Chains A and B, each alone.
Chain A
Amino acid sequence: MKAIRSMVLVSSDVASLELGAKEIYQEFQREIQSFGLQDEISLTMVGDIGRHDAVPLVIVYPEAVIYGPVRKESVHTIVEEHLYKGRIAVGLQAPFRELSGRIAWLSARKGTLPAEQRIVLERAGLIDPDSIDEYIVHDGYTALAKTLTDYSPEEVFSILEKSGLRGRGGAGFPTGTKWRFVNKTKSDKKYVICNADESEPGTFKDRLILEGDPHSIIEAMAIAAFCVGADEGFLYIRGEYTLAQNRVKNAIKQAEDMGFLGENIFGTGFNLKLHVHAGAGAYICGEETALIESIEGKRGEPRARPPYPTTNGLWGKPTLVNNVETLANIAPILRNGADWYRSFGPATSPGTKVYTILGNVNITGLIEVPMGITLREVIAIYGKGMKNGKTFKLAQTGGSSGSIVPATLQDTPMDFDSFSKAGVALGSGALLICDEDTCVVDLAKVLLNFFRKESCGKCNPCRIGNQRAFEILSNISEGTGSLKDLTDLMNLSDNLYQLSNCGLGQTAGAPIRDILNHFRAEVEAHIRLKVCPTGVCPMSGKKI
């Protein structure tokens, strides 16, 4: 493993090149050599940093300091001060107001390393998950007490709305608004459900939260139930997660013994009964209406929406469904206030996000960082670089229903809005980092194989479309595809998006669309030249 200490990026868009970006790059090479830093510093020309008036720009990671406009004469100072002595070269930083929105947020970090910021994983690994006492010592159940005694539901909704918390399941719906919807629906019976059917490939954040800090979810569910007016709740936990199921069952029992659950909680007349419901192995049950069907003892087939669960959910009653990670944010927000929460991440999607880093990086694992970090930072800082010094080619985000993000977008901040502007999706937080040896056809084939098997079969576009797309991709990977296949694939992808009933079908076509948008030449090589450029596909000449 080659340990790179710092990364220097020199902008090389047209404007930067005109102003001598190439000479600045060469000057950096010379200066780094003369300080003997060539083994510790990586120097790269990056194409597209964004349109702005402070070019040529130089960004130094991991501190994310932006220098600009950089003159050839100032390179020596930057290398000596920043790279050699390790302090920011004062006076050479780019003025904040002249940076475009695309990278202005980087500068707003005040040149600090984006250290891990733990909110939802705050206690995981630090307390004994089987001990309610340890949870209470670490501020546990204070948010519930505060809610029940000091706040009205209306006040909780406005705190949550003000905090900007958005659902972490993938769709990013504002949490406070969803709670308000359920509260407003009149009914004699309401339910709260915690969606812990985490089956998105590459995602295991919910498991860690449930295994490491089960009481935080129970507390949040009690707050939610009080605010929306529910007196019964379910935690739908994936069948494979036996440890998490046992921890949660134990936590519920402890909370009941202490009077945080059950009848007349804190003497306020509020009652809540929580149940653990184990899944039986079906990806689609992570979709909220399929999950509700499954609790009712049926096949997990998503319902038609509307009506939404907020009005017609479990047994036809108004139901609040929240993801584990969303719930884990509730108590910290109520304890510390909306302004505290807004101080993390960008304004449009505040807070932190738990990411799982997987694939061809040196260190895989799980991090919780403010929203808006970039892929480049994730790979360089937390992944400790690409494995075997290979080149980063693409990242597959958010499990199977996310996007394939090409290396050209690695400087886009990862938050809901910036990603959707760039035409990619954040998904559930899995970051599968792939190097140059990854074949996009093979990757899409694996993803479509997943969808073809996990499709519940209720509606045709998904049941037939995914199977057909898998067959076409298989043919391409065997060297028996035709150019017409690419049109068919694109049509299938569009049809899946437009005609499917639920989110699974609607996103199933995304990998196809992404590889054709970003890696069309590589796909066409499989067809025109009968060659897999990375040597991964079998190319046997067999037709499926």
Chain B
Amino acid sequence: MAIEVKDTKAVLKAVQDAVSRFGATQDELIPILNDINREIGYLPGEALDEVSRLLRVPKSHLFSVASFYRMLSTKPRGKHVIQFCESAPCHVAGGREVFQAVKEALQIDENESTPDGNWTLTTTSCLGVCGVGPVMMIDDDIFGNVDPKQVPSILAKYK
């Protein structure tokens, strides 16, 4: 896998930045983890170690939180993350065909990453833009009313 693993120094810096931004208390744990995840792309073991040390929270607790929320990942992810809405409103509007087209274009299945480390494909529950389903989100961009034929051109924007 060519997915980039961040070096320890960058990880520690991201953790310290996040903790100083929100304060070292447990009620800020989720915002802190969110911030680190956004900065690094996922939550590496070293990051959890450092959060555990700074917040004085057991690592087991951190892992249980990190593995619970959909927006946090404990595994490395591709450069671009596709979140595909699989809830009923998008499904009824033709989401299944679009999802099939995405899988074919990238040659990967749900929860997999492409060998070049560019893409990770995940499914998600409703993104709250159901009026324009089927919807998919690439990184922070939302694409609505997606047609299976548009998929290659949408993906091409992220080379």
Contacts and interface: CB of A to CB of B under 8 A. Distances in A.
A199 B126 contact: yes
Contact of A199 (B29, B92, B125): B125
A277 B26 contact: no
B68 A297 contact: no
Nearest to B88: A446
A203 B33 contact: no
Interface in A8-34: none
Given A198-B128, A282-B68, A356-B130, A447 B88 contact: yes
A174 interface: no
Interface stretch (A54-62, A102-110, A341-349, A358-366): A358-366
Interface stretch (A176-184, A237-245, A304-312): A237-245
Interface in A385-431: 396, 399-400, 430
Interface stretch (A37-45, A117-125, A150-158, A448-456): A448-456
A295 interface: yes
Contacts of B30: 277-280, 294, 297
A297 B27 contact: yes
Given A204-B131, A297-B26, A430-B130, A438 B92 contact: yes
Interface stretch (B11-19, B69-77, B101-109, B148-156): B69-77
Nearest to A364: B131
Nearest to A204: B128
B89 A239 contact: no
A434 B28 CA distance: 42
A358 B34 contact: no
A396 B61 CA distance: 38
B89 A282 contact: no
B40 interface: no
Contacts of A294: 30
A89 interface: no
B86 A204 contact: no
A391 B86 CA distance: 24
Contacts of A360: 92
B127 interface: yes
Given A239-B34, A280-B70, A281-B71, A358 B87 contact: no
Q: How large is the interface on B (under 10, 10 to 19, 20 to 34, 35 or more residues)?
A: 35 or more
Interface residues of A, number: 49
B86 A449 contact: yes
B15 to A, nearest CB: 16
A358 B131 contact: yes
A201 B126 contact: yes
Given A239-B34, A359-B92, A280 B128 contact: no
B64 interface: yes
Contacts of B71: 239-240, 280-281
B65 interface: yes
Interface in B73-122: 86-89, 91-93
B40 to A, nearest CB: 15
Contacts of A241: 128
Contact of A207 (B87, B92, B128): B128
B41 interface: no
A441 interface: no
Nearest to A299: B68
A532 B25 CA distance: 55
A425 to B, nearest CB: 15
Contacts of A255: none
Interface in A458-488: none
B123 to A, nearest CB: 8
Interface in B26-51: 26-31, 33-34
A454 B88 CA distance: 14
B68 A400 contact: no
A445 to B, nearest CB: 9
A85 interface: no
Contact of A434 (B33, B68, B70, B92): B92
B148 to A, nearest CB: 16
Contact of A359 (B29, B64, B93): B93
Given A356-B131, A454-B125, A280 B88 contact: no
B88 A450 contact: yes
A220 interface: no
B126 A399 contact: yes
B156 to A, nearest CB: 25
Given A280-B33, A296-B27, A432 B68 contact: no
A201 B27 contact: no
B26 A296 contact: yes
Contacts of A279: 30, 69
A450 B86 CA distance: 8
Contacts of A203: 126, 128, 130
Contacts of A430: 89, 130
Residue among A356, A360, A446, A450 with max Cβ neighbours from chain B (10 Å): A446
A49 to B, nearest CB: 28
The 5 A-B pairs of least Cβ separation, nearest first, read: A281-B70, A297-B29, A201-B87, A280-B69, A281-B71
11 contacts: A201-B88, A204-B129, A242-B140, A277-B31, A278-B34, A300-B68, A432-B92, A443-B91, A446-B91, A450-B125, A453-B125
Given A241-B128, A281-B70, A297-B29, 8 more contacts: A199-B126, A201-B125, A201-B130, A203-B126, A203-B128, A238-B128, A297-B57, A298-B61
